[in-house]
Structure 1
Amino acid sequence: MATEHNLAGALRKARKARGLSQEDFSDVSSRTYLSSLERGLKNPTLDKLAELCEVMQVHPVTLLTLAYAGNARQADHVLAQVRRELETILSKVDL
């Protein structure tokens, strides 16, 4: 998997693509905190990431894929890798 990621840029890109302002997240985050996330100064917890994604109406995996891939072509590679890894993990676990 790629070692570099840009969660800050992915968050900003997804927010803008949804036509949302930083103030639109006021139910789950302060504008100052969201600004810090988008500038890469802070990293959200998984719970906070889920809340932010809920506001944007995107799955957290979508945002993480965007952070690791950056574009649609690379996203195909990332998602294919995730599928292979999930299949391997789940095939070795008693469910």
Structure 2
Amino acid sequence: MAVYCIRILQKATRELERLDKPIARRIAERITWLAANLDDIRPEPFKGNLAGLYKLRIGDHRVVYEILYDEKMIVIHQVGHRSEIYRRR
């Protein structure tokens, strides 16, 4: 079981900082969990405009990420409430 590196893009960092602290902490914990368990789960892909990216559901919030398998890296593109994530693109 490989642990993936996590890269959070600047936009996603700003979005995470704007969230309430308990929600942001919960999301950060799930991202860490994802990096440790990615080989054991089936990532949930987006369809349509976000095709090629994956989503991580944390309650009503979503993390939009990309998997770079060759580099063993997860790139976090967006973090936010589901209504904002689906409306943006």
Task: Please confirm whether the aligned pair reaches a TM-score higher than 0.5, indicating the same fold.
Answer: no
Higher strand share: 2
Higher helix share: 1
Q: TM-score normalized by structure 1?
A: 0.30
Larger radius of gyration: 1
Q: TM-score normalized by structure 2?
A: 0.31
